[in-house]
Every structure is written in C-alpha cells, then in structure tokens.
Amino acid sequence: MYTLTVIPGDGVGPEVTDAVLHIIDALDLNFDYTTADAGEECYKKTGTTIPEETISLAKKSDATLFGAVTTVPGMKSAIITLRKELGLYANLRPVKSYDGIDSLYKDLDILIVRENSEGLYSGIEEYTPEGAIATRVITKVASERICRFAFDQSIKLGRKKVTAVHKANVLKKTDGIFRGEFLKVSEEYPEIETDEKYVDAAAMFMVSKPQIFDVMVTTNLFGDILSDEGAGLVGGLGVAPSANIGDDNALFEPVHGSAPDIAGKGISNPSAMILSAVMMLDYLGEAEQAQELENALLDVLSSSKVTTPDLGGSSKTIEMANEIRSKLI
C-alpha cells in the first residue's frame, strides 16, 4: 500500500489529475491517496496558496502528485514552497522523443538534472536606489549533492555520459564552485564519461546537435531554461513530465502550467501528468508497473486515434484516459 498526497490545484490541474488517477487505478498496485489544496482557488478560499495541512500531508506520504496551479501575484509559490519544505533538491526533466508526437527530433533521450534549492531562485532580492539586486547562492554542499545525484542516476539508468553546464568563465566564483564540485565527484565515477559546456553553447547545441547530450547537470536557473528548451524539441510542455526528489520525499508534476485558457473544456492533454506518474512509480521501486503505464500511453500516442486536440486529435481528456486505461486491463 502506497500513501499518496494528491494536489490537483486549479486550471487544467484537476482534469489531468483525475485522468491519471483513473488510469493508475487499473494497475496491480494499492494506492491510498488524500487530496490536498494549493494554488489560486485555495488562496480564494483560505487566504494562502499552500496550507500547512497540505505540507504536512506531503511530508508523511510516500510521494506527492501535483497537478497545476495558477500563480497568485505577490503570494508565495505553492510549488517552490513544497520543494523547500520537503527538501526536494533534485529536479529531473526528461527530454524524450515519442512516436506519434510531432517533434523536431525523433531520436532524443536526454535527462536534465537541475539543482532545485538555490541559485538565483533563492529569493534573496532587494531594491536599490538604482533598481534592484538578486543574490545568486551557490554552495559546495548543494553542488556536490546534485552532481552526485546526476552520476548516481546515470549508473541506475545505464547512461554513459554526464555533462556539466555552467558559466564559470564569467561567474568565476559561483559557477567556479559548481564546476569544482562536479570535477571532484566525477573522479569517483571513472566508468562514466564527463563533459563540460558553457550554458550559452549548451543552448545552441540543444538545438543544433542535441544527440551529443545524455545526462546534463546544472544550476537552478540554467536548468529551468534548458529543460523548457528541451521540451520544445520533442513536442512541447504537453509531453514534459518532471520529478522533484530529496532524501526523504518526492513530488511529481507536469510542467505545462494551469492553462486557464482551456480549463474546464475537458480537452487538456494528460500525457505529461501520466509520464510524471511513470516517474513516480519508478521512484517507488515499481519499475515493471512504470514501464507498463508508459507503454500504454505510447501505444495510444503512436496510433493517434484517441488523442486530445493539441496532439492532432479530437478526443476529450477522459476519452484519452479511458483508451490508455483499456491497455492496462
């Protein structure tokens, strides 16, 4: 029995969340899940975007499934708060091509490992008479931890190369620390090939020669940008899952946002949420069930018969979910 905290959120979040719960219910696994609030609708009801009760439930769960939330201007981010409270220092963003998805490249399978706890997203900003200053925090502990995580993932997944992405030629102190920790950790993994790229060069190669990458490890802001760029290579955010992992907790979410323009129409693409659930099952040690779920999705995507409008079809979210579920029964 796995205990899950499910945070549907708002916008299309509840739609894709309902779809994935409907599908994984067909797996030969037992889930005991509790629904919790976060996001804009939660703020309207409670005055906060992320109640303490939600955080507490997530901390006690084996994993958390997070749908999507709408940003409330001036209020704390629900997802960033959860990442910090749960100690989720590693953000995994696969960049993978799938049959049936219109993409720029058909042969990509890259894993971007993004440091999730510091960098320019540390939230340390202040106004000055001239404008404002943001402080970029890079520590040896966090850099070593994320680099080791990237190499361990490479071993686990049978990958061959880890590329560090930084800008140490300009950010000599902060990225100098990140680069130094990467080089130290790499010495402990002689079986894994290592490489370095400046972030601007990495962005260019992601477009021109993405096949040179296998696993990429980088700092928070660089990872955020490069992972969205990677999603654009393989069909967009509608097929982009993510995992946020720490030492004791993990949270899984699609990265497409709440898409308020289509919310309530029942046409949201559940693929990214389903692929996030695949990552969750793998995290829980259910590799066979994870592969079964991914295969069911890929079967439906490759046939292109029962898909949502953004995928070129005319089906509703729940119709696509039913078709995927039918492959598991």
Residue whose pair of structure tokens reads 């201007």 in the numeric block: 73
Residue whose tokens read 């979040």: 13
Which DSSP string corresponds to 222-268? HHHHHHHHHHHHTT-GGG-EEEEE-SS-EEEEESS---TTTTTSS--
Catalytic residue among 184, 228, 299, 327: 228
Which of 60, 200, 247, 265 is flagged as catalytic? 200
Tokens in use for 101?
């998805």
Please state the φ and ψ torsions of residue 306, each to the nearest 5 degrees: -125, 80
Strand partners for 24: none
Question: Looking at 96, 167, 197, 316, which residue is catalytic?
Answer: 167
Instruction: Classify residue 113 by its DSSP letter.
Output: E
Q: From the candidates 18, 37, 214, 224, which is the catalytic residue?
A: 224
Q: Is 200 a catalytic residue?
A: yes
Is 310 noted as a catalytic residue in this protein? Answer: no
Answer for the pair 182, 168: CB distance below 8 angstroms, yes or no.
Answer: no
What letter would DSSP give residue 285?
T
- Catalytic, 228? Answer yes
Phi and psi based region of residue 250 (left: phi greater than 0; alpha: psi -120 to 50; beta: remaining): beta
Identify the DSSP state of 2: E
In the residue annotation, 156 being an active-site residue is answered as no
Query: Among residues 121, 214, 283, 310, which one is catalytic?
Result: 121
Residues annotated as catalytic (active site), given as ranges: 121, 167, 200, 224, 228
